[in-house]
Amino acid sequence: MTKQARSEQTRRLLLEAAAVLLWRDGYSDTSLIDIAHAAGITKGGLYFHFSSKDQICDEVQEAAVAVLREHVDRGPTSSPRALQRLADLGHALMRWLDTDPRVGASFRLAREMGGKDARFVSFAVAWAAQVRQCVADARADGELGADVPLDLATLQAVVTCVGLESVFSTGVIRPDLGLQGALAGLWRLNARALVDRFGTGD
């Protein structure tokens, strides 16, 4: 293995370890020493790649945004309809929150640190922008009436997902159906309300 390859592998191990720890323990309870130990890297090795915990958090966020972009770039899989793409986006988020430490860490950082520093909400902002695009496309394509309030419809979809993640991850409510099953039920209720209020009758 070349020196460059070893360096890239070390950086990847550190980011993977950081994502897991930040997802599990949160920002305050995750230290650089914890990350280095979990990655099997010396403290000096960590500081060669990252000068601070915030820098690591930034790169974890970037990695989560890359997951989102890959999903969006693949395009619609089951339906070209914008509301279906919105539902697929929500289900993808729930799946990532169950299985992908990068996304899980990014959402936890947003919940815990977003009010202190906007840098911690970069993934959440990117995801909300995709939600807004789906809602705008649905209105433009006639799936929703032209009078649908774009900001409120976006807020409803975002709050549904963010609220579900929050109550689930904090243990306030743990639906028997799990994140994806609970979201499917909430999506049906939301879609029915939107169509009843703003639908075109198609």
Rounded Cα–Cα distance for residues 154 and 79 (Å): 20
Residue among 160, 166, 148 at smallest CA distance from 186: 160
Q: Supply the pLDDT for residue 25.
A: 96
pTM of the model: 0.84
Quickly tell me which residue has 């099997």 as its tokens. Answer: 40
Rounded Cα–Cα distance for residues 47 and 5 (Å): 18
Tokens of 188: 């049906």
Region 158-165: mean pLDDT is 88
Rounded Cα–Cα distance for residues 85 and 5 (Å): 38
Position with higher pLDDT, 90 vs 75: 90
Rounded Cα–Cα distance for residues 107 and 61 (Å): 9
Region 40-62: mean pLDDT is 94
Position with higher pLDDT, 18 vs 177: 18
Q: What is the pLDDT of residues 7-32, one digit of tens each?
A: 899 999 999 999 999 999 999 999 99
Rounded Cα–Cα distance for residues 131 and 143 (Å): 15
